[in-house]
Amino acid sequence: MPDSAVRWVCLSTTAPALSVLRDWLALHVHESLDDGDGLLGMAQLVLTELVTNAYQHASGPYEVILRCLPDRVRIEVADRSTALPHGHHYGLRLVEALALRWGVAARPAGKIVWAELLVTVPSV
């Protein structure tokens, strides 16, 4: 996946103030996309659910990666657990309903749970 704009933040094992992460996401979505307002609320909700799920069910430290592409935004949350998330958790069902697609990628020291949201282009 070619990166248009990538932002990254490392989180400690202490749960962060989610409002700070939502503000961080808003800043970078607005910086990277001409019209990010249409998906911002959904992106913030997806970010909140992915981070909350990681803190509740995995071990840290944690990383959040935001990739803003011309047609979509990809939110990734990495943790140190190799256990796969269960789709029956409320938060992940919400992510599934809001995202274009979502999934899990293994990495040497854990996994990344990710979700992609479609950037809608206003019709002229």
Tell me: the pLDDT tens digits for 97-123? 999 999 999 998 899 999 999 987 555
pLDDT at 123: 53
Q: What is the CA radius of gyration of the chain?
A: 14
Q: How many domains does the chain have?
A: 1
For residue 65, pLDDT over 80 is answered with: yes
Phi, psi of 61 (to 5 degrees): -70, 165
Question: What would the DSSP string read from start to end of 61-89?
Answer: -EEEEEEE-SSEEEEEEEES--SPPPTTS
Domain that holds residue 104: 5-118
Question: What CATH number does the domain containing 42 carry?
Answer: 3.30.565.10
Span 61-83, average pLDDT: 89
Largest pairwise CA distance in the chain: 47
> Is 124 inside any structural domain?
no
C-alpha distance from residue 69 to each of 34, 39, 53, 89, 92 (Å): 11, 13, 25, 28, 23
Q: Is residue 96 part of a domain?
A: yes
- How confident is the model at residue 58, as a pLDDT? 84
